[in-house]
Amino acid sequence: MKIEIPELALVLLIGPSGAGKSRFARDHFLPTEVISSDDCRAWVSDDPTDQSATEDAFDLLTTIARKRLARGKLTVIDATNVQPEARKPLIELARSYHVLPVAIVLDMPVSLCLRRNQLREDRSLGPHVVRNQHNQLHRSLRGLKREGFRYIHHLTSPEAVESLSITRQRLWVNRRDDAGPFDIIGDVHGCFDELHALLDALGYQVTRHDEEGEPRFEVQPPAGRRAIFVGDLVDRGPDSPNVLRLVMEMVEAGTALCVPGNHDIKLLRALQGRRVKIAHGLSQTLDQLQGESVAFRKRLIAFLDGLISHYVFDEGKLVVAHAGLSEALQGRASRWVRDFALYGDTTGELDEFGLPVRRDWAARYRGEALVVYGHTPVAEPRWLNHTVNIDTGAVFGGALSALRYPEQAVVSVAALRQYAVPPRPLSGDADLLSAQQQDDSLLDLSEVTGKRRIETELQGTVTIRAENAAAALEVMSRFAVDPRWLIYLPPTMSPSKTSQREGLLEHPDEAFAYYANAGVTEVVCQEKHMGSRAIVIVGRSEAAIQQRFGLPEAAIGICYTRTGRRFFDEPALERAFLHRLQAAVGAAGWWDQFESEWLLLDCELMPWSAKAQGMIREQYAAVGAAARTALPTAVAALQTAQARGQDVAELRRRFDAQQGMIEAFSAAYRRYAWPVEGVDDLRLAPFHLLATEGVLHSDKSHLWQMESLSELTRQPDPLLHPTAYRLVDLTDDGARAEAVAWWEALTDAGGEGMVVKPMPFIARGRRSMIQPAVKCRGRDYLRLIYGPTYTEPANLARLRQRGLGRKSALALREFALGMEGLARWIRREPLRRTHECIFGVLALESEPVDPRL
Amino acid sequence: MILTISTTHRPATDLGFLLHKHPERVQQFDLPFGEAHLFYPEASETRCTAALLLSIDPVGLVRDREGGTLYPYVNDRPYAASSFMSVAITRLFRSAMRGQSKERPALVDQPIPLVAQVAAVPCDGGLALLTKLWEPLGYTVEAQPQPLDPARPTWGMSPYVTLTLRHTLRLAELLTHLYVLLPVLDNRKHYWVGDDEVEKLLRVGEGWLDAHPERELISHRYLKGRRRLTEMALARLLPEEEGAEDGSQEEALVRPQRLHEQRLDRVAALIRNSEAVRVLDLGCGEGHLLERLVDEPRIQALVGVDVSSRSLQQAHRRLGLDRPRPESNRITLLHGSLTYQDERLRGFDVAAIVEVIEHIDPSRLDSFERAIWAAARPRRILLTTPNAEYNVRFPALPEGEFRHADHRFEWTRDQFRQWADAVASRHGYQVEIEPLGPVDEEVGAPTQLAIFTDREATA
């Protein structure tokens, strides 16, 4: 005997003790699919027959069942389930998760049950208990359908059980193995001409040949493609019958799929002779159908009646439903699912236009699947949180639109005319900001706090610990700029491995060796400026920036620090700075060259004192002053003692040397500190053009970056400061030596040092991604990091003991997160998807890592 | 880093007997933070100078500690005279400080002419502080200041001086004064200050500290600003003056305090006198408002939210949540941010937002507005913020400056009214604004309070 059950169901095994339920469950289901009440009793009380534990056991059973059903897993309840009151909560459970309840009744002869029960070693119930259960089963058997079971399988003999095979039936909504490609077409509403034109535009060849006075359509789709209609084929428009005819024929020919819209279902009910309120264009449709044959009407009724509420395609990556579908309902079947798919998330109230008030389910949508829907006309396709409404109001004089999948491109044809007046204005018409941008203006705390796992393209999953996220929350809330600006934060950078050369901590040899070992043959060496890291966004116009970044007010751009703080406290200075940069970008012809209204630069902004003036005076200058106060006194005392023959020569030498080091130290910070009165005193050295509209420039090489940016810094404006660089062939010892000499010249002249980068922006080594950049800092500059006297051999020896592992690992994770956040933003994903990455970079920055590396 | 002590007592070389250090030897001592060197630049019949030179290891300071980020490498510690110098004084001159000398027992009790020179002495209180601390003890004070950076004359003077002290007194006294007052000047003790530090201060301060006019400042700084310890020390220094009001300084502290207390009292009263059972304190800080509401039996849920984990820890202690009592489970402290929407903040009868919005960047006010008025949507919101017009009544506040360094804005009564009306109308609330604190006819009250009420909830 063969029976069928739906692939997603809550299966109740029903039968008295000894009916063979557990064995049945073992034979036909995975062990993990079966939840047994006896097991649950045992888990809470150590005794599977302890009736006093029944309540706790049932709690446990339903908890497990809930978790499984929420995840869309078939679940089998192995309990006697012989009383209606025992079944009722389980049926309700199935309903609340929109899965079908299935009853499999093991109605074995009572004698057999008694015999089996007696043979049990672990537990045996009195015969009266078994007889009682048997009676209860029989009394309620006929009511099973009324109780709500959609599938009831009644097995009455051991032979029937023995020969049984169960097949799992795919749900109608499940088309997960179908990946398209598709052309998903919005609400047609009887606009036949527009539909014809749209199919043409999509490359479908529609031929009409009438048979016995009735039009027939044959549609030849482009190779491999199929159409999906989101429903509302009829009403309000001029030619609903031919729209229906065309769609039916495409569906029958397998060149289209169709989900029902509320108008389609209402038409069905009218055709079936049920009482419906004739409004919203239904009367027009019924009039238009007057002339159609009885056969056509019959065919139409069968077609409409067979429509499935929604479909899940492409391994769950695409869902099509007329009015959309929240994540928990996708791939499920229930009255509620169907109502949601037809009408949306209605509150039951009416608005001032007499239309149902709908909750904006899309605003709360966080699902993996792209949901394509229609139902509510909008001026432009409305993208929000991985959902898109493609009802662009063809019948109201808007357009008929299709979404190509997987390309996600929209193809539209304008309506020939307005066939009906919309009951309320089309939403989104007058808004400057998109629905997504409006939704993005408020982010949710639960999406940044706690332990986070962020999927990145470059480094797989990056995990953020809850403590670090908590630390980032304060910085982000109190000091960072509006998250709509924060589309990128730069990673930390690791120094090269510690050099063992006398008097040095860092040297280019180690950086070259690192990249050479990783298989990189060419690196770009770039002068490292000592200023402050600055991320700069600048736009061609205020309007362009406001629109692209979804800002509440106009702005030409922004400049922020590596921790997301606004760089300039003074708005006028920021404006002047951005205007100068904007002019330079324009003069370089970049707006047209990159076909972009904005760009994102990663830069060093000098002087150091522009941002760090307080620190320079209170820490750096103060150390110099303290030393200049104390050292001469000490040296004088030593001199006097030495003059009268005391043996203090060694001490004298040490303190004399310290005086020289202090002067070198003071000279080091003075180089990077000059007064800033206005924008003329600033120098901006950009070294990455990270992004322009639609493009993340990580696909270009570092050489391209430096060459491109020198075009910008060649502009006559002194604000833009060039960065010296050179390409080094690591396989050529001579080239390496020349690069080392270049570094020595830079650092001898007081430069900070250089950054060594692999030729590709994203470089993979033999095993994994390698550092996108490594810094080699100069001997004098490092006095500002390790203190004035770090070059003393005893100090250097200890300072060489520094672990770079954490810093390097952090640099890679931050780089992956930063690029991921930016890539998502470029793809116009919801802001929270970028924000979680940026928040992640900030959180990782709270990791305890030696700040001097 | 260097202390020299000279005398012109005859024979001057007796200084060596007093210090227990031979004038013809150069000695080195290892200390936890580096080395101390003792030598005599001068040692004649007429004049003798002992030098204590510290060589503090800057790398060791950073690296030898667990967790190691107490000090940066770029640090004035190797050069400044600080508690490191005090430690060296006690280690090298222990007997001298106690006034013991086997060879010259009579000399220890005899005042002799002494000159001490210390460099570099950090003195953030300016030269006035030096004289306030040393002159009452009888010293002639001379201080030679140092520019912050000779190559950057516009940067002005540094806080470091070479300090020269002259006095005729017992050597033990000089050493004791240096031992106490050098760390007081530096105000950055390098070690943890516990209860035993009070005992130490009282012991070494015996006979001079109780009469010193700056004894409070000295105790306060010596005990690293730990208020409880300072009070303990003062109570024992001045038992007869117990409970006496401390003059002007207290006053200055108390006045702003009273204003804040008033605000909290008013908001707490409004909440107590309402029907609210679920109460939210947004930006609860250290829990001062929550503390006023803990005992209100009608409140079933009292939730404090703050973005600073540190503040929440303090609130946790203040509210006694570390010693759970039956009423503790009505109180919840949440780490959160008012610029994100937060599911946990829904469904409250009243939310207090006391002196919070002025800490929010103006560009984030729209997120704040949506997070509270649209998403959390408490039935009532009690929001206070400074009245910028009143600032002219704070004589100490320079014109155009905010009351707090972290304030991003301060609104006039008009600006506040406009903002509050707009928010209320956008989100279906009605709003009333009232002054909070003493009302000045011209400029209004120091604080303004807006009471928002959800129109639907009241209908």
Kindly list the residues from chain A whose CB atom is less than 8 angstroms away from the CB atom of residue B16.
Answer: none
Which one, of A195, A277, A179, A182, lies nearest residue A234 by Cα? A195
User: What pLDDT digit, counting tens, does each position of A555-603 carry?
Assistant: 999 999 999 999 998 899 999 999 999 999 999 999 999 999 999 999 9
Asked if residue B256 and residue B156 are part of one domain, the reply reads no
In whole angstroms, what is the distance from residue B191 CA to residue B82 CA?
Answer: 11
In whole angstroms, what is the distance from residue A800 CA to residue A569 CA?
Answer: 39
**Which of B74, B371, B406 is closest, CB to CB, to A623?**
B74
pLDDT value at residue A303? 96
The strand pair at A382-384 and B2-7 is best described as: unpaired
Asked if residue B161 and residue B288 are part of one domain, the reply reads no
User: What pLDDT digit, counting tens, does each position of A38-75 carry?
Assistant: 999 999 999 888 889 989 999 999 999 999 999 999 99
With respect to residue B236, please indicate whether it lies within any of the assigned structural domains. no
Q: Do residue A477 and residue B337 have CB atoms under 8 angstroms apart?
A: yes
Q: Do residue B79 and residue A630 have CB atoms under 8 angstroms apart?
A: yes
A775 near A496, Cβ under 8 Å? yes
What CATH number does the domain containing B258 carry? 3.40.50.150
Give phi and psi for B402, each to the nearest 5. -85, 165
Q: Do residue A789 and residue B151 have CB atoms under 8 angstroms apart?
A: no
* Closest Cα in chain A to B151: A670
Distances (CA, A) of A743 to A590, A604, A759: 32, 19, 18
B38 near B51, Cβ under 8 Å? yes
**Which of B75, B151, B337 is closest, CB to CB, to A787?**
B75
B32 near B91, Cβ under 8 Å? no
A421: closest CA of chain B, how far (Å): 29
With respect to residue B207, please indicate whether it lies within any of the assigned structural domains. no
Q: Do residue B119 and residue A641 have CB atoms under 8 angstroms apart?
A: no
The strand pair at A409-414 and A399-405 is best described as: antiparallel
B48: closest CA of chain A, how far (Å): 11
In whole angstroms, what is the distance from residue A723 CA to residue A705 CA?
Answer: 11
Which one, of A844, A808, A851, A849, lies nearest residue A467 by Cα? A844
Long-range contacts at B234-237 (CB < 8 A, ≥ 24 apart): B236/B198, B236/B202, B237/B202, B237/B205, B237/B209, B237/B210
Please state, rounded to an integer, the average pLDDT across all residues of chain B: 89
The dihedral of CA B92, B96, B101, B107: what is its sign? Answer: positive
In whole angstroms, what is the distance from residue A394 CA to residue A42 CA?
Answer: 63
Asked if residue B268 and residue B168 are part of one domain, the reply reads no
Give phi and psi for A227, each to the nearest 5. -100, 150
In whole angstroms, what is the distance from residue A744 CA to residue B226 CA?
Answer: 51
Asked if residue B183 and residue B93 are part of one domain, the reply reads yes
Q: What angle do CA A677, A678, A684 make, to 5 degrees?
A: 115
A-interface mutation test, from B144, B306, B340, most A Cβ less than 10 A away: B340
With respect to residue B76, please indicate whether it lies within any of the assigned structural domains. yes
B-interface mutation test, from A360, A477, A663, most B Cβ less than 10 A away: A477
**Which of A476, A617, A648 is closest, CB to CB, to B39?**
A648
In whole angstroms, what is the distance from residue A225 CA to residue A256 CA?
Answer: 9
With respect to residue B205, please indicate whether it lies within any of the assigned structural domains. no
**Which of A446, A473, A629 is closest, CB to CB, to B119?**
A629
pLDDT at residue B243 above 60?
A: no
pLDDT at residue B137 above 80?
A: yes
Q: Do residue A637 and residue B374 have CB atoms under 8 angstroms apart?
A: no
Kindly list the residues from chain A whose CB atom is less than 8 angstroms away from the CB atom of residue B37.
Answer: 648, 651
Q: Do residue B158 and residue A629 have CB atoms under 8 angstroms apart?
A: yes
A565: closest CA of chain B, how far (Å): 11
- Cut 0.90: pTM above it: no
**From the CB of residue A31, how many other CB atoms can be counted at a distance below 10 Å?**
7
Rounded to the nearest 10 degrees, how much is the dihedral formed by the CA atoms of A211, A212, A214, A219?
Answer: 0
Where are the strands (E) in B93-156, listed by range? Answer: 112-122, 140-147
Q: Do residue A640 and residue B42 have CB atoms under 8 angstroms apart?
A: yes
B74: closest CA of chain A, how far (Å): 4
Q: Which of B191, B216, B237 is the last residue of a domain?
A: B191
What CATH number does the domain containing B7 carry? 3.30.1610.20
Kindly list the residues from chain A whose CB atom is less than 8 angstroms away from the CB atom of residue B343.
Answer: 444-446
Kindly list the residues from chain A whose CB atom is less than 8 angstroms away from the CB atom of residue B63.
Answer: 798
Give phi and psi for B340, each to the nearest 5. -115, 150
With respect to residue B28, please indicate whether it lies within any of the assigned structural domains. yes
Name B38's bridge partners.
Answer: B27, B52
Asked if residue B258 and residue B173 are part of one domain, the reply reads no
Name A78's bridge partners.
Answer: A13, A36
Give residue A197's region: left, alpha or beta (phi > 0; psi -120 to 50): alpha
**Which of A442, A641, A675 is closest, CB to CB, to B39?**
A641
pLDDT at residue B244 above 50?
A: no
**Which residue's structure tokens are 């038992």?**
B239
Give Cα B231 distance to the centre of its chain. 15
pLDDT at residue B68 above 60?
A: no
B61 near A787, Cβ under 8 Å? no
pLDDT value at residue B247? 39
Where are the strands (E) in A339-482, listed by range? Answer: 346-350, 356-358, 370-373, 382-384, 387-389, 399-405, 409-414, 443-444, 452-456, 460-464
Residues of chain A with pLDDT under 50: none
Helix (H) or strand (E) holding B38: strand B34-43
Chain A to chain B Cβ contacts (< 8 Å)? 192
Kindly list the residues from chain A whose CB atom is less than 8 angstroms away from the CB atom of residue B374.
Answer: 442
In whole angstroms, what is the distance from residue A370 CA to residue B318 CA?
Answer: 49
pLDDT value at residue A614? 85
B242: closest CA of chain A, how far (Å): 39
In whole angstroms, what is the distance from residue B339 CA to residue A132 CA?
Answer: 62
**Size (chain A), residues:** 853
**Which of B76, B359, B374 is closest, CB to CB, to A626?**
B76
Kindly list the residues from chain B whose CB atom is less than 8 angstroms away from the CB atom of residue A851.
Answer: 69
B-interface mutation test, from A445, A640, A647, most B Cβ less than 10 A away: A445
SS3 B31: strand
Kindly list the residues from chain B whose CB atom is less than 8 angstroms away from the CB atom of residue A848.
Answer: 67, 69
Q: Do residue A630 and residue B1 have CB atoms under 8 angstroms apart?
A: yes
Asked if residue B105 and residue B28 are part of one domain, the reply reads yes
Kindly list the residues from chain B whose CB atom is less than 8 angstroms away from the CB atom of residue A671.
Answer: none
**From the CB of residue A295, how many other CB atoms can be counted at a distance below 10 Å?**
9
Lowest average pLDDT, out of A46-55, B64-73, B87-96, goes to B64-73
Q: Do residue B146 and residue A628 have CB atoms under 8 angstroms apart?
A: yes
Which one, of A242, A293, A233, A237, lies nearest residue A268 by Cα? A233
Kindly list the residues from chain A whose CB atom is less than 8 angstroms away from the CB atom of residue B2.
Answer: 630, 633-634, 637
Asked if residue B63 and residue B155 are part of one domain, the reply reads yes
In whole angstroms, what is the distance from residue B318 CA to residue A565 CA?
Answer: 32
In whole angstroms, what is the distance from residue A554 CA to residue A432 CA?
Answer: 12
Q: What angle do CA A334, A337, A338 make, to 5 degrees?
A: 90
Kindly list the residues from chain A whose CB atom is less than 8 angstroms away from the CB atom of residue B43.
Answer: 644
Number of domains in chain B: 2
Rounded to the nearest 10 degrees, how much is the dihedral formed by the CA atoms of A58, A64, A66, A72?
Answer: -140
In whole angstroms, what is the distance from residue A776 CA to residue A506 CA?
Answer: 6
Residue A20, CB-side half-sphere exposure with 13 Å CA sphere = 22
With respect to residue B46, please indicate whether it lies within any of the assigned structural domains. yes
Q: Do residue B337 and residue A646 have CB atoms under 8 angstroms apart?
A: no
The residue segments making up the domain with residue B304 are 252-458
* Closest Cα in chain A to B59: A795
B144: closest CA of chain A, how far (Å): 9
With respect to residue B309, please indicate whether it lies within any of the assigned structural domains. yes
SS3 B119: strand
Kindly list the residues from chain B whose CB atom is less than 8 angstroms away from the CB atom of residue A441.
Answer: 366-367, 370
Asked if residue B326 and residue B187 are part of one domain, the reply reads no
pLDDT value at residue A615? 87
Asked if residue B266 and residue B173 are part of one domain, the reply reads no
Helix (H) or strand (E) holding A651: helix A649-670
Do you find a cis peptide bond into B41, omega within 30 degrees of 0?
Answer: no
A165 near A105, Cβ under 8 Å? no
Kindly list the residues from chain B whose CB atom is less than 8 angstroms away from the CB atom of residue A784.
Answer: 74
Asked if residue B298 and residue B177 are part of one domain, the reply reads no
The strand pair at A9-14 and A75-78 is best described as: parallel
Contacts of A275 (CB under 8 A, 6+ apart): none
Q: Which of B191, B209, B234 is the last residue of a domain?
A: B191
Which one, of A395, A374, A392, A390, lies nearest residue A193 by Cα? A395
The strand pair at A226-229 and A182-185 is best described as: parallel
pLDDT value at residue A440? 86
Do you find a cis peptide bond into B11, omega within 30 degrees of 0?
Answer: yes
Q: Do residue B307 and residue A477 have CB atoms under 8 angstroms apart?
A: yes
* Closest Cα in chain A to B155: A617
pLDDT at residue B149 above 90?
A: yes
In whole angstroms, what is the distance from residue B167 CA to residue A267 CA?
Answer: 110
Q: Which of B175, B191, B207 is the last residue of a domain?
A: B191
B52: closest CA of chain A, how far (Å): 9
What number is the ipTM of this complex? 0.83
Q: What angle do CA A153, A156, A159 make, to 5 degrees?
A: 105
Give residue A190's region: left, alpha or beta (phi > 0; psi -120 to 50): left
Give phi and psi for A713, each to the nearest 5. -75, -10
Asked if residue B301 and residue B182 are part of one domain, the reply reads no
> Which tokens in the block code for residue A245?
């005819």
**Which of B160, B308, B361 is closest, CB to CB, to A625?**
B160
Amino acid at A378: V
Asked if residue B448 and residue B364 are part of one domain, the reply reads yes
pLDDT at residue B240 above 60?
A: no
Alpha helices in B140-208 (DSSP H): 171-186, 196-204
With respect to residue B314, please indicate whether it lies within any of the assigned structural domains. yes
Do you find a cis peptide bond into A425, omega within 30 degrees of 0?
Answer: no
Q: Do residue B371 and residue A442 have CB atoms under 8 angstroms apart?
A: yes
Kindly list the residues from chain A whose CB atom is less than 8 angstroms away from the CB atom of residue B366.
Answer: 441, 552
